[in-house]
Amino acid sequence: MFRWQSIVGAIIGLAAGSAIVAFTGSPEHAPAPSGPILSECDGRLCELVLQYEPAARDIVAPVYRDFLRALAPDASVHVACPDPAAFADFGAAVGTVPCRVAPIFTGHPMTSWSRDRWVALAPAAAGAPTTLWSPRGEAAQEVWPERAGDERIGRDIAAALAPRVRAQRSRLYFDGGDFLADGEAVFVLPRVLERNIQQTVRNRKELLDLLAREFKRRVILLDEAPDHHAGMFMASAGDRNMLVGDPSLARELISVEMAQHEHASTNEFMSLPGGPDFTASTQRLFDAVAAQCAAAGYRVVRIPVVPARDGRTYLTYLNALIDQQGGRRVVYLPFYRGVERLNAAARSVWENLGYEIRPVDCTTAYRHFGCLHCLVNVLRRT
């Protein structure tokens, strides 16, 4: 059953968190030691954060519904949302789910895209807090109220969950999706260097040193990659296996799908803006990611992916979430209605790596430049 927490209790909890902040100062106090960045492929999903804004209900609710119904009953999910009315709308949209769900009321505008707002740094020691490491600022926050609200989400969560969670503001500009971490290394996209060089850091080495100190992992800065978040085109599957998207694997499958659905041209396929992008220049970027992962000592496994010509819209099977339940590895895997051959091919790749598949319908979300991994942030694993 859906374990709704009392909204009154949540308000009291938020007030208590605010009182703690009043006595101890902002949750973004002076940095103190933290542990390494959470791996995206190791451990059980214990505590998650979603963001919900009723205006995005038709986009995100079907994704949340599939995912939460497949999640283990002992998982805890915090729903950051503007107010009690938004949380009630979330409950009506998602329905009954087995996991524990409770609200965090922010009191300000926000979007529903949780992943980019912060990255979680594990506690430095038993009993120490988890650190939410947020970027210096959000793109377009000066003119976009929802993005200005997103800039505050890390503090909102820390205030509600203090003292076991704290917020820390980075000196760097980034999106959470610009990093991909496993238990050994963190891959960093070129856009992080581009956004920060000669603004927040003087040179590449200073950036790498700062990231290594914060993440406490080997830092691998990619020199070439598609201009999107890492979860759109790569995913660590554990044991030094790296899944990397490959448009060429999707091209033949798409021709069959098009014939079945009587599409006259690729421009009509799945409403991808401009149609699929199978150009040599785009393929080269995906191949460059594969080559850089191999050079870093990873076994590269290719999987079909369909980027659109707008560079933002993807049919991707890498924007997934990985869980471990007992001795089983589980992947909550996006699928899309109308491309059954692509879905089956991607499923086979994950199954060959030993994963149990729990499908999540992301058909409503992919046209908005993201899907499951973009909508869910992980606070704690065990």
For 4-41, the pLDDT digits (tens) are 443 434 443 444 444 333 333 344 545 678 999 999 99
For 131-162, the pLDDT digits (tens) are 999 999 998 787 689 999 999 999 999 999 99
Q: Is the pLDDT of residue 271 over 90?
A: no
For 327-350, the pLDDT digits (tens) are 899 999 999 998 999 999 999 999
Contact 361, 293 (CB under 8 A): no
CA distance 326 to 333: 19
Contact 329, 238 (CB under 8 A): yes
Query: Closest Cα partner for 277 from 235, 319, 318, 248?
Result: 248
Q: Is the pLDDT of residue 3 over 50?
A: no
Q: Strands, DSSP E only, in 253-298?
A: none
Lowest-confidence range among 10-14, 48-52, 375-379? 10-14
Average pLDDT over residues 39-47: 98
Contact 342, 334 (CB under 8 A): no
| pLDDT cut 70: percent of the chain above it | 88
Q: Report the domain count for the chain.
A: 1
CA distance 351 to 223: 30
CA distance 337 to 270: 9
Residue 51 belongs to domain spanning: 3-381
CATH code, 304: 3.75.10.10
